[in-house]
């Protein structure tokens, strides 16, 4: 049963705390598939405790322990990354699978990835609706085809799924990216993690090439999650004063969401390096006249849009088109929830602009989460400005940041389940 919680912050809005973030979900899920393909050569350390990673790890362990089972049903639930990565991974195993997920997962398109895998010789068909999960997968991909083209502006996870299995393919893979590449840092993350496992690649123009090769013995150490860090940037931006230490985050990160450091400067947050991680300090808001392009870091969009809205900043954004096919239609969800505080998010030819002219803060607001963890965490910091913020289905944060509410309480927030 889904439960709600009321979030509040009483007293002076000064926050001084140290937070130990979970491992990166993005790094963890890539590392798990790389390790599974390495035949025991690659180990993973500091795995995320996010639900998506727990689900994927459990599935891979079950597959490892039951390699000779007859046709298996694999259910990823809400785990979108697991759906994409497993579509490719299961195609390489000499078994039969039904790959399925939640009702929302069955509404999220996957045809682009499936078509690419079919070009490489995969035997995949749709169990219900054309272009969507569930999938019937007859594994054992063993084609001589080595070239495939795929659109780069839909989901970088499609590209990463193909790149991760590339070294195990008979002829390797030449992956041509058509059009603009959304979330390039996520593709670079995948290639860097493959390199840490001994897999070499070349990237010339719009084509990435990986030859058939063996993984090398390695341990992939997962960095804390910059996506999770973004909510603390929002808290720092909305607090009167703050010094928030986030431990073990690296200056040179594989994660594109580390861009939050520079994006949040004009919203009033300064980042400084300390021996055990980074410190966030509240500062002064600066006018932003240019359109913010979030194409490389779409998972930050809800955090930044909501934070800018409640600060009354009429900012414009682009690079948000992939938000419409995430856990929910995140654009529509943002529009509906921001309207509750009088803010409009206006779409004009892929540019989204905030209109905060009617911004107001009632005593209490109830925000829906749409089965989307990032909606819950993007709106919770508003409790620094609104006496009571009710978050519906507040446990949805388990998908990526299970300790979010505990960490808020550590920082002085009150979180009361109702």
Share above pLDDT 90 across residues of the chain, in percent, rounded to a whole number: 85
Please count the CA atoms within 13 angstroms of the CA of 315 that sit on its side-chain side. Answer: 26
Tokens of 34: 């790389």
Residue 288: pLDDT band by 50, 70, 90 thresholds?
Answer: confident
Token duo for residue 133 = 């999960």
Mean pLDDT across the chain: 94
Q: Between residues 322 and 136, which one has the greater pLDDT?
A: 136
Between CA 96 and CA 24, with CA 114 as vertex, the angle to 5 degrees is 90
368 pLDDT higher than 90? yes
Q: Return the closest-CA partner of residue 367 out of 343, 348, 346.
A: 343
Q: Where are the domains of the chain?
A: 5-22+224-417, 25-221
Regarding the domain with residue range 5-22+224-417, which homologous superfamily does it belong to in the CATH classification?
Answer: Enolpyruvate transferase domain (3.65.10.10)
Mean pLDDT over residues 128-156, rounded?
90
What is the structure's pLDDT at 73? Answer: 95
pTM, to two decimals: 0.84
Catalytic pick among 299, 372, 393, 407: 299
pLDDT level of residue 225 (50, 70, 90 thresholds): very high
pLDDT at 252: 80
Question: Distance (Å, rounded) from C-alpha 71 to C-alpha 252?
Answer: 43
Lowest mean pLDDT among 191-195, 267-271, 294-298: 294-298
pLDDT confidence of residue 190: 97
pLDDT average, residue stretch 328-352 = 95
Nearest to 71 by CA among 94, 40, 104: 94
Query: What confidence tier does 141 reach under pLDDT thresholds 50, 70, 90?
Result: confident
Confidence of residue 279 (pLDDT cuts 50, 70, 90): very high
Q: Is the pLDDT of residue 67 over 80?
A: no
pLDDT confidence of 66, banded at 50, 70, 90?
confident
273 burial (CB, 10 Å; 0-12 / 13-18 / 19+) is exposed
Peptide bond into 134 cis (omega under 30): yes
**Residue 142: per-residue pLDDT:** 77
**CATH (residue range 25-221):** 3.65.10.10
115 is known as an active-site residue = no
Same fold across 5-22+224-417 and 25-221: yes
Question: What gap in Å lies between CA 192 and CA 254, rounded to an integer?
Answer: 8
* Closest among 38, 319, 370, 292 to 156, alpha carbons compared: 319
pLDDT > 70 in the chain, percent: 100
Tell me what pLDDT residue 153 has: 83
List, for residues 114-135, the tens digit of each pLDDT value.
Answer: 999 999 999 999 999 999 999 9
Residue 327 scores a pLDDT above 80: no
């Amino acid at each position: 049963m889904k439960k709600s919680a009321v979030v509040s912050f009483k007293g002076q809005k000064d926050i001084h705390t140290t937070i130990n973030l979970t491992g990166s979900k993005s790094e963890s899920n890539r590392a798990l598939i790389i390790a599974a393909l390495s035949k025991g050569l690659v180990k993973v350390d500091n795995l995320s405790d996010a639900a998506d990673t727990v689900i994927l790890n459990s599935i891979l362990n079950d597959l490892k322990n039951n390699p000779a089972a007859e046709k298996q049903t694999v259910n990823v639930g809400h785990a979108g990354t697991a759906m994409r990565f497993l579509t490719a991974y299961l195609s390489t195993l000499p078994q039969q699978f039904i790959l399925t997920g939640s009702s929302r997962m069955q509404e999220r398109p996957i045809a682009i990835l499936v078509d690419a895998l079919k070009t490489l010789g995969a035997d995949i068909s749709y169990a219900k609706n054309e272009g969507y999960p569930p999938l019937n997968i007859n594994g054992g991909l063993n084609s001589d085809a080595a070239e495939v083209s795929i659109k780069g502006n839909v989901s970088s996870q499609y590209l990463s799924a193909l790149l991760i299995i590339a070294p195990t393919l008979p002829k390797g893979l030449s992956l041509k990216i058509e059009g603009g590449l959304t979330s390039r840092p996520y593709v670079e993350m995948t290639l860097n993690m493959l390199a840490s496992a001994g897999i070499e690649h070349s990237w010339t123009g719009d084509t990435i090439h990986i030859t058939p090769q063996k993984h090398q013995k390695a341990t992939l150490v997962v960095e804390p999650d910059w996506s999770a860090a973004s909510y603390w940037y929002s808290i720092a931006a909305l607090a009167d004063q703050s010094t928030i230490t986030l431990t073990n985050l690296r200056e040179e990160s594989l994660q594109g969401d580390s861009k939050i450091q520079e994006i949040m400067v004009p919203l009033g947050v300064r980042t400084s390096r300390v021996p055990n991680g980074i410190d966030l300090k509240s500062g002064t808001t600066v006018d932003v006249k240019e359109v913010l392009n979030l194409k490389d870091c779409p998972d930050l969009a809800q955090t930044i849009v909501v934070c800018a809205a409640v600060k009354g900043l009429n900012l414009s954004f682009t690079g948000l088109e992939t938000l419409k096919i995430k856990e929910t239609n995140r654009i529509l969800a943002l529009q509906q929830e921001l309207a509750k505080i009088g803010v409009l998010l206006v779409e004009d030819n892929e540019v989204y602009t905030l209109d905060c002219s009617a911004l107001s803060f009632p005593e209490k607001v109830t925000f829906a989460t749409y089965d989307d963890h990032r909606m819950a965490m993007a709106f919770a910091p508003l409790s620094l400005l609104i006496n009571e913020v009710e978050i519906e289905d507040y446990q949805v944060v388990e998908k990526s940041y299970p300790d979010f509410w505990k960490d808020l309480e550590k920082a002085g927030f009150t979180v009361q389940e109702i």
